[in-house]
Amino acid sequence: MKNILASVIIAFALTLSAWATDVTVKISDVHLCCKNCVTGVEKAVGEVHGVTVSVDKDAGTVSLTGSDAATVQKAANALVAAGYFGKSSDANIKIVADTGAKGTKVQSLQVKGVHLCCTKCVKAVTEALDPVAGVKGNTATKGAKSFEVTGDFNDEDVFSALHKAGLAGKTE
């Protein structure tokens, strides 16, 4: 009888400890210039059931916590889909953007899905793209769903620059 009781207690304790081991990832270098950026992150991640989000605007970090890695990965994917990008603190949680870039030289590129809630976001895009070899300009504006990048440049370089600035997007 004592062995059965001990087994039940041990099984219960293991179950509780398994429940208590949530997965948390910190995503750093995310573009979070204003309250609207923070709200955009919270809204995007809030649509993923079972994940909580904590945003530190000043540090440029987003912490995602969920019951398992698959759920947290869904939240990270939602973050990218909402136009944000960053670096994951957990090698199991990937921050991946399917940009559609082909690694070819282009003179014009339509980019969509970049978070552009305010003039600071637009400035971040311009500052990210200005140093890209061959980029002559862009048409990003506050609230735009898409914009054009012009010049003579490698399309992958545009997305690499946006990612370094904490922004995601893809070809239109």
CATH number at residue 62: 3.30.70.100
Residue 83: strand, helix, or coil? coil
- Tell me: do 122 and 161 sit in the same domain: yes
11 falls within a domain: no
- Tell me: do 122 and 83 sit in the same domain: no
143 falls within a domain: yes
What is the tally of structural domains in the chain?
2
pLDDT string in tens for the chain (172-residue length): 555 654 545 544 444 444 558 999 999 999 999 999 999 999 999 999 999 999 999 999 999 999 999 999 999 999 999 999 999 999 999 999 999 999 999 999 999 999 999 999 999 999 999 999 999 999 999 999 999 999 999 999 999 999 999 999 999 8
Domain of 135 in residue numbering reads as 105-171
Q: How far apart are CA 9 and CA 57, in angstroms?
A: 44
Q: How far apart are CA 46 and CA 49, in angstroms?
A: 7
Q: What is the pLDDT of residue 37?
A: 98
